[in-house]
Structure 1
Amino acid sequence: MAVPALGARVHPHYGVFSPVRGEYVDLVAKAPLPARSRAFDIGTGTGVLAAVLARRGVERLVATDRDPRAVACARDNIERLGLAGRVDVLPADLFPAGRAPLVVCNPPWIPATPVSPVDHAVYDPGCRMLRGFLYGLAGHLEPGGEGWLILSDLGERLGLRTRERLLADIGAAGLRVVGRLDTRPRHPRATDPRDPLHAARAAEVTSLWRLRQATGVTQPPAG
């Protein structure tokens, strides 16, 4: 599928979520970069966000995913886009070893149980990936670095997660919010009154939360 922010196409493999929701890709394409030396892309899927960051001038990227299908898919796309010399795709549950000045994650948005392979990109039981990213982030950021959390508020609008819990987790993880970019959905279901979730989808906002380590918080070395 074509990705306008990338100026190229990515090819999802079976069972790997396709980046049909282009608004979240656009957020990553325009957010101010804290550095261009190195970045991590956590839960890379097709590799689209790692590719966008590489095209923006980030020199070295490590993209991770725990799903072997996603790792293979991301590697194929990165190779096809001519970025294999700058992007390493590794199998990992969340973070690679070390630290980076930029760590990006677009976790599944709905805290519910997946029932098919592709659902793992949409459903996050118990907010496992979301909270795992938040609570591990400070230990993988370089001093002054930023974590970008890309998250829809659809789960909040459906009563499955609260904004108060999200902000509490951010604070408890030793992080602070330094900025946020918001966008509205452009997909057809957001304007389809026949959709049973139309009210929530029509009001949905997708945000890129810019997070930094809270002042005075000391984190253990990244593993």
Structure 2
Amino acid sequence: MFSRHVDALIDAFRVLPGVGPRSAQRMTFHLLERDREGGQGLVEALQRALEHVGQCRQCRMLSDEDICGICRSERRDASLLCVVESPADVMAIEQATDYRGRYFVLMGHFSPLDGIGPDELGLDLLEQRLDSGEVAEMILATNPTVEGEATASYLMDMARSRNVRSSRIAHGVPIGGELEYVDGGTLSHAFQGRLEIK
């Protein structure tokens, strides 16, 4: 219906998560009608990122260097290793907490139906980190989904077999939340993870 270049751009935007046909069309028209300079900046930034961003050799975080800034930092506590599913999880923890340890990014979770197992999650590299003797505690911060819980359980066993302490981040009722509006799974997790008041 449109120019083949317009159609191609709409299709290109649809590769992004959460972007459907309408959103892709709006973004395309916005760039072409009102912000061609912004569109050019987007093209250049995307091209540079695709050419230069890879994974850190130690933690698998997205990085434009072999070893990312967090792994290189002497200010980080190497005895604490937080395992997360994605780079977005690292950013969320960094922005919302005062965690000063290091990370390991799985780039996913166990999903046998999708063919994602230990090899795809880089668990051989994680085993090397645990075997080094440097890690005293592995903090499991996988998502509270069925797949995330299965992944966390596997990782707990991996840590236990190496005498590395493992802990799981708490899940439950959000601050400011009201119990009547909290879903059953979240409430169940909150009860299972309850703490003694001292």
TM-score, reference length from structure 1? 0.32
* Higher alpha-carbon Rg: 2
Bigger relative contact order, structure 1 or 2, given CA contacts below 8 A and separation 6+?
A: 1
By percentage of residues, which structure has more strand? 1
TM-score, reference length from structure 2? 0.35
